[in-house]
Amino acid sequence: MGNQPARIYFDNAATTSLDPVVLEAMMPYFTEKFGNPSSIYSYGRESRLAIENARKSVAKILHAHPAEIFFTSGGTESSNTAINAAIHDLGCRHIISSPLEHHATLHTVEHLVRKGEVTLSEVKLLPDGHVDLDDLERLLAGSTEKCLVTLMHANNEIGNMLDLHAVGNLCKKYNAIFHSDTVQTVGHFPFDLRNTPVHFITGAGHKFHGPKGVGILYVNENVQIQPYIHGGAQERNMRAGTENLYGIVGFAKALELATEGFEADSNYIKGLKIYMMEQVKQALPDVDFNGDPLGRSLYTVLSVSLPMTGKSEMILFNLDINNICVSGGSACTSGAMQGSHVIAAINNDPNRVTVRFSFSKYNTKEEIDFVVAKLKEMI
């Protein structure tokens, strides 16, 4: 087995390490290139140029128009902006969503419902955790008011992926606005937004080896929305506040690297996921996997369901003691095992415990072997 590695990081769906090449691209903007992008002298113009070049690069990769890309503080702000705009600017009065959404969507929707601004319908889920598209169409067809459909592209806890085109075409048919939280997929899959029927998508740099605190909101050119944050004229009058200059540069660089490496990295990471599935199955009796791990699923995420025993109850704690970083369901509710609303919605068995492993290009089979051996010891 060799020596124990210093730390095994299998929580890449929560956040990823910063690629050294991305840091290198960001460094000049921490030091000599510190001008305010809104200033008119050369220092400022240089910063403005860096932002606009980043925007062009991101737009090109996603097959969007630069005018459709807005830089934000991350996926949470982007989803909040899109959902609020759909209600306040685009006239949606009925939201159709799912119980599996990230809290950035879930809590925004709940807030609007509490304020009496919208009604909410939850789409049914199939036994494997996928969205029931027939039920979605039934809800759209039966709605007397304009709908916002907000459904995530890939679930951060179980990895299930939505068919964006199928949902987008349904929204088109019933004149609904479509927002998809794509935080787990931007930087992990190719996008062709010109040919994808979606009004809003989101991205976060730290999910694909970029910096934290920076994200994007794509706003389809066919919809007109008002700013969510008011103040200065930054981001073409759409998002006030001095731009996160080095973050934006880092976001674009990380997306460029992710795109260049997509073929090799995705194959490698998918290999790790399948290898771990096989090893866990061999090592542990009565193990199961949440969602649709070998079907339409993130290659980065493996959600493992274990029988609840005295030992498995403390599993996250014991893995942590062994310097293994994982989460129980979502990182946003880690600590308490039963904290996951996603697992509760798809697999409400109190006698099972869920551990989420999520991989990156920096992980290895040796690390998986070590973790599986530890799991076997524990259970």
Catalytically annotated residue among 92, 147, 171, 332: 332
Sequence-distant (6+) residues with CB within 8 A of 19 are 209, 210, 254, 257
The closest alpha carbon to 162, from 205, 117, 123, belongs to 123
In which residue are the tokens 């987008």 written?
168
233, 241 contact by CB (below 8 A): no
Tokens of 156: 């951060």
Counting Cβ atoms within 10 Å, is residue 285 exposed (0-12), middle (13-18) or buried (19+)?
exposed
What values do phi and psi take at 137, rounded to 5? -65, -40
**Catalytic residue list contains 332:** yes
Cβ count near 379 (within 10 Å): 18
User: How crowded is the C-beta side of 182, counted as CA atoms within 13 Å?
Assistant: 27
Q: What is the sign of the dihedral through the CA atoms of 338, 340, 344 and 346?
A: negative
**Residue 150's closest CA among 107, 224, 200?**
200
Residues annotated as catalytic (active site), given as ranges: 332
